[in-house]
Structure formats: structure tokens, C-alpha cells
Chain A
Amino acid sequence: MDGVGTKWWPYKHKGSVNEVLIISLLFLPLAGGVFGMLFKNTSYSIGGIGLSFAASLLVIINSIEFNTAIQWLPDYSLGIKLDSTAAILICLVTLISLLVHTFSLEYMREDDGKHRYFAKLGLFTFSMIGLLLADHLILLFVFWELVGLTSYLLIGFWYKKDGIPASARLSFMVNRIADVALLAGILMINNSGSLNISELSGTWLFLPSILVAIGAFGKSAQLPFSGWLTKAMVGPTPVSALIHAATMVAAGVYLLFRVAPFMHESTLIIVALTGTFTALYGGLCALFQHDIKKVLAYSTISQLGYMVMGIGVGAGSASIFHLFTHAFFKAGLFLGAGAIIHYLHQVTKADAQDMRNMGGLKKALPWTYSTFLVCALALTGIPFFSGFMSKEGIIIAGWEWAEQIGAWAYIVPDVGLITAFLTALYVGRMVLLVFYSENRLEEKIVAFSENLSLKVPLIVLALGSFWFVFDWNPFAHESRLSGYWSSTPSHSSDSISLIVMILSTLLAISGLVLAYSFFKPGSNYEQSFSKLEVGKFKLAFNGFYLVALYQSIGRGFSRFSQFTFAVDQMVVDGFIHFVGVGSVVISKVIALIDRFMVDGPVNLCGHISAFVGKRVAGLSSRDIQTQLAWLLAGVILILSWILFF
């Protein structure tokens, strides 16, 4: 893809210049963040990320490709590779990051820790770019962990508030568990060949591929790991927009996209099914939340489900396309929610994230309203918006895949369509409850000047949610960008795509209509919403108790560790006691035999063993003699093992 840019960028084939470019692309956000924190000036951060974005644009325009390796251990050359897929995704990450930085300028203006905040954002952007540049699975894992760590730091940003450290910890730990699977998978693959992604070949066995998939499920909040994403919503809202909607959670999808060609085929089926059910799960849960960020979080889970499903059915290209469009509209929605929360914080003391405290905000926040609406429609999957194009691609691919696999496999596209309906329903509900009707608070709504640094990111993201950004044809399910990540255009039969398109549009519209009939201003539901109790929908409201499940597993683990502690204390004593009792019993038995057989020496043996048993039972595990008894018991056990076996 040699562009015209070659003329004014003469260094396209000069390795050293490109190296400098890549290094600055990677490190500028981090450097900006660190300098910003050192000199207490946010403009460093903005400058760093801005320059990084500019560099990534330069890379895209000139279609620079770059490939190098760091020699690490013998036989391990950690590859770094910038291909067109990585380049376009880096461009996306830096763009969204830049917008979030801009938005945060206003959002975090009053916060004491804002310099710390920007430093963490910089670290995050750095790690995410590193993840996309890494060609070696171990290098990727290092950045993967860094991304997880930054996410943890940012979730726990307001660590002084109640419950926030606990939530941060929970998200962190759930992620670590999946990461262990990923590391184990990588180590297994290590034994069969190169770990450089571009040098992978053949098909992996089932176990390593499912372990890698589990790692990706963890990062992308697929079932059963979905619970952490809603817990992550306690972080600052711009963070939710950047990390928990647009970029980090997409890392799992990205990894799956890279390794899908080498996956075992039953793993791919599992991946498809997991994605499908996660999509449904997220959609169902989103319907019953009244925290606006939780609605969006569950919606993210649901959309990630689509992407993972796309990978599973072999439509990696469509998944990355959906990742792309989703990044724009979901970041827009989150930043919109951030603007609302920011506004409510200034008006009221009530919970600023609770939709029961919102309503009628259309008048107060006109810009937020219109951009939010555009992004919401894109999420719904209405034609002429980006979400429609990418989601269609996945569902159509799912349909074609099902045709090959068998009748049962139609569950995948079917659930995809049902989720599309649910999506429309919850999006309609959210928009109606937040922006229409009258405000449900006692306080009066006041007009609120939407600051420029709030407005610009919202407008950019809303523009990015229209169809023309990706293709002039609003009914295409490919993008002009698709060439960056896929070399072969997908061929889908027109009849299927027509059916799916009509079906899903109808479902989306009927979802919106249904939402309107329930939640239109003045309707019963709308009126009683502010007093809504959780009651009936407890199951879905609590996300099917996934988090409670984690906690009970955690408690189980802590019981287990209590148990192992008992090994140090009770069991040792218990065993000794058992030995004591046992030898007393034996001595009694011996005494019985004694009466009938020989007296004397046997009797003495019985006494001795009873005596020893009593003595030993009286010792605690802190006692040196018990320890010695253990040692000798061990030696005797080993010796008798070799003598008798």
C-alpha cells in the first residue's frame, strides 16, 4: 500500500529513522506522563500522547512496516513487529487515548491526584502500544501484565473511598487467574516451536490453545470472567472509556485474532459459543441495571461477546472491524456518561451514576445529548451508523459457519440476533430514562456550560460512529480499513446477508419501539422508576451473581489455606495423637493376646508402645522432639519403601 506520502517522507525504507519513530511512538506517552507528574503540569501528558498519535498517523499514511528483535535468552529472540494490523490499532489506541486525555483535563480538574492520574494513563497507553507491537508471545505477556497492572492502578485510583480497593483487587485477581492459564499455554507452545507470532505454524493441540483462549477470555471479560468488568467501573469514568471499553478489553480479541489460525478446531467452537453466550449474558444484565456505568459495562461485555464469537466462527476480520467501530461509539458513550456524572456531581449530592437520579438532561446537556444519541444508535445497530456494518458482518459469518457445522450451530447467529434485539431494548431504555421526561431529583436543573475539552472528544467520537467514516456504502459489512488487517476480502452470499440485514434492522427497530412503549416519558414504568426496587430482577441485576461466585471461591481458597495452616498445627498434633491412640490400641490388643499366649516380653512391648504413644501425643508441633519424630518417621518410611518394594 504505497501511498503518496512517500514523496514527502523520504525515510520509508531507512531502518534507523523508523526505529526512532517507533521508539518515540512507544515511549512518548509514558515520558509525557512521567514528566507531567514530576513537573506537575498536564500539558506534558497531552503533548506526549498527541505526538504519539501524530507518529502513528505518520506510520499509517506512509504504511511503514517495521521488524526487529531483541536477543534475550539463547533461542529466544523477542520479536517486535509493526505490521499494518498493529499500525491501524495503534492509531486507534493513541486517538482514543488522546481524546480521553483531553476529556480528563476537565473531568479531573479538581482532583488532587490528577498528575498521578495522567502518569498512569501514560503508562497504560505505553503498555497497550507495546502489547500491539510485540511479536513474541512472552514479550506480549509482559505487556499484557503491565496493561493489567495499570488497569488495576487506575481502577483503584480513588483508593481512599470505601470498597474501591476491594473492587480493584477483585478485578486484578480475576485477571491474574486467566493470565496464569495464558502463561501456561504459552509455555506449552514454547516446547513445540517458535513463540514469535509471525513465525507460528501448524495447529496447536487442544490444551495449549484452550489455555491461550482462556487467557484472552479473562482480558476480554468473557464468561466466566465477566464479573470483573462491572467491578472495574469504580474507576474514574474516562478510564472506563479508555480501558474498559475501547482498548484494553480488546486485547483479548486482538490476541485471539492473531492466534486463531493455529487454534485447535474444537477450541474455536468453544470460543464461538463462549462469545455467543457472553453476548446474551451482557445484554440480559444490561437491561436491569440502574447505574448508567453498569449498563455500559454490561453492554461492553455483550459487544465483546460478539467479537469473540466472530473470531470463533472464523470471521476475524469482521471482529476487528467491530472492535474498531465499538471503540468509537463505546468510548463516546462512556465519555458522555462521564459528562453527565460530572454535571450531576456539581448539582447534587445524590449518587451521580444512578439513572434514578437522572431524567430530562436533554435540556441541560444539549451537546452531550446529541453525541450520546448518535453513539447509542451506533450501538443499537441501526443502518447508517457504524455499529450496523460491523455487527452484520459477524452475524452473517456466524450464519455461514453454522451452515457448515450443523443444525445445532445455528444457536450462534440466532442468539446474536436476539442479543441485537436486547441491545436495542436496553439502549432505548437508557436514553429515554436519562435524557427525556422530567428530572427525578428535587434539585432544579440548571444549564451547564459544556466545556470545550469535554465537547471536542464527544463530537469526534460521535462523528466516528457514522457509516461514512468506514465506507461510503452504509450497507457494506466491510470497511475501507479492512485491508489493514485482512488480506482476503470476505465473500458472503447475498441472500444470507440480505436476510440478516433485514432481520436485524427489524429487531433493532422493534427493540427501540418496545423500549419506547415501556419507558416513554410519563409511562408507568418511567414514573415509578425512581422508586424502583431491585426485587423481581435480582438475578440479572446482580449479573447472575458472578462476583458473588468469585468471592465464594475466594472464601473457599481462604478456607483451604486455613486448612493448610492446620497442617502446621492441628493435623500434626492430630497425627501424633492418632499414632499415640493407635499404639495404645495395639498394646491393648497385644495385652489380650498376651493373656492367652506369652507373658513377659510382649507385655513389655505393649507398655513401651503405650508409653511412647502417650509421650509423643503430648508434644506439640512447636516441639523440637515432634519435629525430630517427623524427620525420623520420614527416614524410616523411605527406608521401608526401598526394603519392601
Chain B
Amino acid sequence: MNLIDQLNGILADLQGVWAESALMLGAIAVLVLGLARSGRAIKALFLIVLIFACYLNLTNGLRGDILSGSLFLSVHTSTFGILFLITASFLLLFKRGDKHSTEFYFFILSMLTGSLLMMKANSLLIIYLSIELVSFSSYILTNFSFKKKGFEASIKYLLFGAICSAIMLFGLGIIYGSTSTFLVSEWNSETFSALLPQVGFILLLVGIFFKISIAPAHLWVPATYQEAPADATAFMSIVPKLAALVLLKRIFEGQIFTSNHWIYSLVLGLGILTIVAGTLGAFRQSNARRMISFGAIAHSGFLLPLTLIQSTTASESLWYYSVVYAIMNMVTFYLLDVHERNGIVEIDDYKQTSRSVWIGAIFSLILVSLVGLPPLAGFTAKLFLFTTLWEGYSLLENSQMLWYLIVAVIATVGSLFFYLRIPRAIFLSQSTDNQSINLNLSTKILATLFCIVLLLLFFAPQLVMEAQQLLNNVHE
């Protein structure tokens, strides 16, 4: 193949990364515009960039390996990409002052780019670069409350992330040394039969688990989620996590392990540990956001097994759970933000809000959905998960799936007891100093809309599946 052919091939393949390029250029444009304008103009540009990236993502029809194997495109990368872009657009709903809004949107865009690349990564180099890109943006965004605690959380997050990336890099080196390839797609069932590459693979998992927040790499979550700005937290708790899950699913899709391999036991064991740590940790928290962040850890544990099982059900469950999780977390952090602006931070502070019945009821419904009770979409997501686990148990004959199922069911019940502490504080306490908090109508309407969507997705779950089909086929 001569040089011209190679160049032509690269040019043809570039279509697959147009969305990322647009985001990166858009990020720079946001920075440049930030020199002259602030506020509305920045937000408008941010939205335009997102819509444009969405368009590029939808029209991209490439699938499979591109750019000499460094990226791999699939149904998941295109549909999750749209999900991430839409999630990012919801950040505009949060109230954000003009202070440093340029930089904020710049880092959101670069985190988004990193997440999109992370999903598509096929080369270990891309995996490392995209994880670092996401991480760096997150470290900086954690600072954006510009308070002492925010800096503290940020440096702790950074150190934790740096150690994890060092461990991962070491693992990548070992994998490289023992397989002499960087490409995930060149792995096969023989690759990890020796001990050395297995060690390397585990060290690689540490880096990915850090992004998904799987135990023991979940310890950074509470402090970071508690101190970062609410919109950044909402974004961080959704997009990088789901991107890393898609990446993990892609790695396990390669059939590099048989289903009774000990790696499966290990990952499932860590998933169970995550669920337990998240659920138990949440019980005694006094800060509302900290409690939700432990809940988010438990949700990572719920999502994890869906990457291990290779079946249509598992893929559909992952997609459905992710969509519902994105909606729930977005609206939860939105409501937490609204309350925090009125000085309501601790769970006990919610006793003061017993006057604002409407928003309280909506908030309670959202939390019920996070628990996973009918008639909200959270229940359907859990039901899908349980069905998948059962299928995994009966098809793969992996009895650990059954244990996972049992722990997941118990944890779902257990999570009722901490999530419902907020509704309890709102509705069941006779508080003396009942000041009505200041909520405008748009907040109420917005929260209600989200809630209706969650209800709708419970009654018509096939909408989500059809959306996936539709998003995947739009380019035709």
C-alpha cells in the first residue's frame, strides 16, 4: 500500500472522529469567545457545538475498526455518544453565574471529548489518553466552587486518580510486553493465559474501575461529589462512568475469557463489594449530596455485571439502565442544587422545606425511582438487570450471578432506608422554623417534566429500545 492510499484511508476514516473534532474545536472556540463575551453567548455557543456534534455523530455511518485499529465504532458508541451529548445539554438548565463560565464549559466539552474517545478506544494508548483527558477535566471542574473544601476535594481526587493511572500505566506496559500489541481487537482467548498478562490486565482494570468507581477504587467519590459544583457533579457521575462501562463491555466482548474464568469471579466479587460499600456507606451520612454519592457508587455496582454478560438482553439492559440512570442523576443533582442555593445542604435541613409540597413530592418520586420501586423507570431498570443476571446464571451456569442477584435485591431494599430519609425529613417532621424556600415556577415545571419522563419510561420501556434502534440507523 503506498502513501497516497494510506492517506486516503485515513481521510475516509476521519468521519468517525468528526464529532470529537467538532467538540474540541468548539471547546477552543468557547475559550476564544470567552475573551470577549460572557454569560448567554457562551451558553449559546456551547449548545450549538453540542447540536453540531450530535449531527455529526448521527450521520456517521462507520462501524468497526478505523484509523488502523486505534478506534472501534459500534452501536453502543454511537447511541451512547448521543446520550452523552444530550446529557451535556441539560447542564444549561443549572443556574450558573458568569464567573468562570467560559472555563467551565470548556472543561465540560473536553471531558465530553474524552468520554466519547474512551468508548471508541481500541488501542491502549487511546484508552490511557482519553481516561487522562476526562480525569484532568474532572480535577479542574472539582475546583469550580472556589472554596477551600473544593480545592481539598480536588487535590485528593487528583492524587487518587494519579495513583490509579500510574497503576494502569504499569499494567499497560506489562500487557504490551507480554503481547507486543496495543490493540484490544488483537487480543484473543490465548492472550491472557499466562500469569504476567493477567497481572497486567488486572492493573488495567484498576484504571477503568477508577472511572466507574468500583471498589476499592471508589473512595474518591463521596468527597468529590460533595464539594464539586452540582452541575459538574451531575455530569461527572453520568458521562465518564457510562463511557468506562461501554469500554469495559467492549473489552469483554472480545471473548478473551471463558465465562467461568476467575476474572469473572473477581469482577463480580468487586461489583458485590461496591454495592455493599455504597449501600452501607450511605446509611449514616448527614449530608444529602454525600448520601446520593454513595447511592451512585451502589449504582455502579448494579451496572457492572451488564458488561460481563454477552447477550442482547444485557446490551438492552445496559442501554436502558444507563438512560434511566442519566435522567435520574441529572434531576437529582438539579434538585439538590436548587435546595443548596437556599441553604439546604444537610438532610436535616430538608425539614424546613415541608411547605414546598410540590417539589418535595417530585423529589420523593425521583428518589423512589433511584431506589427502584414501581411505578417509575428505576424499577424497570432494576427488573431488566435482575432478568439479565438470572439469564447469566442460567445460561453461563455461573452461580456467582445468582449471588449477585441476591445481593442486588437485598441492596435495593436496603437503599429504600437511606434514600427515603429525604422525603421523611420533608414530610414527616414537625419543624418549627418553616421558612418557605424560594423556588421559581420553571424549576417546578422542569422537575415535573423529568418525573413524567420517568413515569413514561416505566409504562413504555420499549421507547428507549426503539430510540436506540433509531439513533443507530439515522445515517442511512
List chain A positions with a Cβ less than 8 A from chain B: 71-74, 138, 141-142, 145, 156, 159-160, 165, 169, 176, 180, 184, 187, 191, 557, 561-562, 564-565, 567-568, 624, 627-628, 630-635, 638-639, 641-643
Cβ contact within 8 Å between A176 and B416: yes
Cβ contact within 8 Å between B280 and A634: no
Q: How far is B161's CA from A624's CA once the two chains are assembled, in angstroms?
A: 11
Chain B hits for A74, CB < 8 A: 462
In the complex with contacts A176-B416, A635-B203, A142-B284 CB distance below 8 A: no
Q: How far is B257's CA from A190's CA once the two chains are assembled, in angstroms?
A: 30
Cβ contact within 8 Å between B195 and A73: no
Interface size counted on chain B using CB atoms at 8 A? 42
Closest 7 CB pairs of A and B: A634-B216, A565-B284, A561-B283, A564-B280, A627-B219, A624-B156, A142-B374
Q: How far is B424's CA from A169's CA once the two chains are assembled, in angstroms?
A: 10
Cβ contact within 8 Å between B430 and A145: no
Cβ contact within 8 Å between A184 and B409: yes
Q: How far is B389's CA from A476's CA once the two chains are assembled, in angstroms?
A: 53
Cβ contact within 8 Å between A631 and B163: yes
The chain B residue sitting closest to A630, CB to CB, is: B216
Q: How far is B375's CA from A561's CA once the two chains are assembled, in angstroms?
A: 28
For residue B327, give the distance in angstroms from its CB to the closest CB of chain A: 18
In the complex with contacts A624-B156, A638-B266, A564-B284 CB distance below 8 A: yes
Q: How far is B386's CA from A72's CA once the two chains are assembled, in angstroms?
A: 17
Q: How far is B219's CA from A492's CA once the two chains are assembled, in angstroms?
A: 68
The chain B residue sitting closest to A168, CB to CB, is: B428
Q: How far is B215's CA from A630's CA once the two chains are assembled, in angstroms?
A: 10
The chain B residue sitting closest to A634, CB to CB, is: B216
Q: How far is B458's CA from A138's CA once the two chains are assembled, in angstroms?
A: 12
Cβ contact within 8 Å between B390 and A631: no
Q: How far is B203's CA from A633's CA once the two chains are assembled, in angstroms?
A: 13
Cβ contact within 8 Å between B375 and A180: no
Q: Can you give 26 contacting A-B residue pairs, CB < 8 Å? A: A72-B459, A73-B383, A73-B461, A73-B462, A74-B462, A145-B373, A165-B430, A187-B386, A191-B390, A561-B284, A562-B284, A564-B284, A565-B284, A568-B281, A568-B284, A624-B160, A627-B160, A628-B163, A631-B206, A631-B216, A631-B219, A633-B216, A638-B202, A642-B202, A642-B262, A643-B195
Chain B hits for A638, CB < 8 A: 202, 266
A interface secondary structure, majority: helix
B interface secondary structure, majority: helix
Answer whether residue B413 sits at the interface, using C-beta atoms and an 8 A cutoff.
yes
Q: How far is B215's CA from A74's CA once the two chains are assembled, in angstroms?
A: 34
The chain A residue sitting closest to B216, CB to CB, is: A634
The chain A residue sitting closest to B390, CB to CB, is: A191
Chain A hits for B424, CB < 8 A: 169
Chain A hits for B461, CB < 8 A: 72-73
Chain B hits for A630, CB < 8 A: 216, 219
Choose among A165, A169, A630, A631 the residue with the greatest number of B CB atoms under 10 Å from its CB.
A631
Chain A hits for B266, CB < 8 A: 638, 641-642
Cβ contact within 8 Å between B281 and A159: no
Chain B hits for A180, CB < 8 A: 413
For residue B341, give the distance in angstroms from its CB to the closest CB of chain A: 26
Chain A hits for B215, CB < 8 A: 634
Q: How far is B202's CA from A71's CA once the two chains are assembled, in angstroms?
A: 43
In the complex with contacts A184-B409, A564-B284, A635-B206 CB distance below 8 A: yes
For residue A123, give the distance in angstroms from its CB to the closest CB of chain B: 13
Q: How far is B269's CA from A634's CA once the two chains are assembled, in angstroms?
A: 12
For residue A177, give the distance in angstroms from its CB to the closest CB of chain B: 9
List chain B positions with a Cβ less than 8 A from chain A: 155-156, 159-160, 163-164, 167, 195, 198-199, 202-203, 206, 215-217, 219-220, 262, 266, 280-281, 283-284, 373-375, 380, 383-384, 386, 390, 409, 413, 416-417, 424, 428, 430, 459, 461-462
Chain B hits for A141, CB < 8 A: 374
The chain B residue sitting closest to A156, CB to CB, is: B428
For residue A155, give the distance in angstroms from its CB to the closest CB of chain B: 12
Cβ contact within 8 Å between B217 and A631: yes
Chain A hits for B202, CB < 8 A: 635, 638-639, 642
For residue A153, give the distance in angstroms from its CB to the closest CB of chain B: 10
Q: How far is B201's CA from A639's CA once the two chains are assembled, in angstroms?
A: 11
Chain A hits for B216, CB < 8 A: 630-631, 633-635
The chain A residue sitting closest to B459, CB to CB, is: A72
For residue B229, give the distance in angstroms from its CB to the closest CB of chain A: 21
For residue B287, give the distance in angstroms from its CB to the closest CB of chain A: 13
Q: How far is B156's CA from A631's CA once the two chains are assembled, in angstroms?
A: 13
Q: How far is B386's CA from A73's CA once the two chains are assembled, in angstroms?
A: 14
The chain B residue sitting closest to A187, CB to CB, is: B386
Cβ contact within 8 Å between B430 and A160: yes
Q: How far is B215's CA from A631's CA once the two chains are assembled, in angstroms?
A: 8
The chain B residue sitting closest to A144, CB to CB, is: B374
Chain A hits for B160, CB < 8 A: 624, 627-628, 631
Cβ contact within 8 Å between B462 and A567: no
The chain B residue sitting closest to A569, CB to CB, is: B284
Chain B hits for A642, CB < 8 A: 195, 198-199, 202, 262, 266
Q: How far is B205's CA from A639's CA once the two chains are assembled, in angstroms?
A: 12
Cβ contact within 8 Å between A628 and B159: yes
For residue B310, give the distance in angstroms from its CB to the closest CB of chain A: 19
Chain A hits for B374, CB < 8 A: 138, 141-142, 145
The chain A residue sitting closest to B284, CB to CB, is: A565
For residue A566, give the distance in angstroms from its CB to the closest CB of chain B: 9
Chain A hits for B409, CB < 8 A: 184, 187
For residue A194, give the distance in angstroms from its CB to the closest CB of chain B: 15
Q: How far is B416's CA from A337's CA once the two chains are assembled, in angstroms?
A: 37
For residue B444, give the distance in angstroms from its CB to the closest CB of chain A: 18
For residue A561, give the distance in angstroms from its CB to the closest CB of chain B: 4
For residue B328, give the distance in angstroms from its CB to the closest CB of chain A: 19
In the complex with contacts A561-B283, A627-B219, A639-B199 CB distance below 8 A: yes
Cβ contact within 8 Å between B375 and A142: yes
In the complex with contacts A565-B284, A631-B164, A169-B428 CB distance below 8 A: yes
* B281 interface neighbour in A169, A184, A567, Cβ under 8 Å: A567
For residue B460, give the distance in angstroms from its CB to the closest CB of chain A: 8
Chain B hits for A165, CB < 8 A: 428, 430
Q: How far is B412's CA from A184's CA once the two chains are assembled, in angstroms?
A: 11
For residue B376, give the distance in angstroms from its CB to the closest CB of chain A: 11
Choose among A71, A561, A632 the residue with the greatest number of B CB atoms under 10 Å from its CB.
A561
For residue B290, give the distance in angstroms from its CB to the closest CB of chain A: 10
In the complex with contacts A73-B462, A142-B374, A628-B159, A635-B280 CB distance below 8 A: no
Q: How far is B220's CA from A71's CA once the two chains are assembled, in angstroms?
A: 43
Chain A hits for B199, CB < 8 A: 639, 642
Chain A hits for B413, CB < 8 A: 180
Q: How far is B160's CA from A628's CA once the two chains are assembled, in angstroms?
A: 7
For residue B148, give the distance in angstroms from its CB to the closest CB of chain A: 14
The chain B residue sitting closest to A560, CB to CB, is: B283
Chain B hits for A639, CB < 8 A: 199, 202
Chain B hits for A568, CB < 8 A: 281, 284
Q: How far is B206's CA from A565's CA once the two chains are assembled, in angstroms?
A: 26
Chain A hits for B281, CB < 8 A: 564, 567-568
* 16 additional contacts (CB under 8 A) given A165-B430, A639-B199, A639-B202: A72-B461, A73-B462, A142-B374, A176-B416, A561-B283, A564-B280, A565-B283, A631-B217, A631-B219, A632-B163, A634-B215, A634-B217, A635-B167, A635-B202, A638-B266, A642-B198
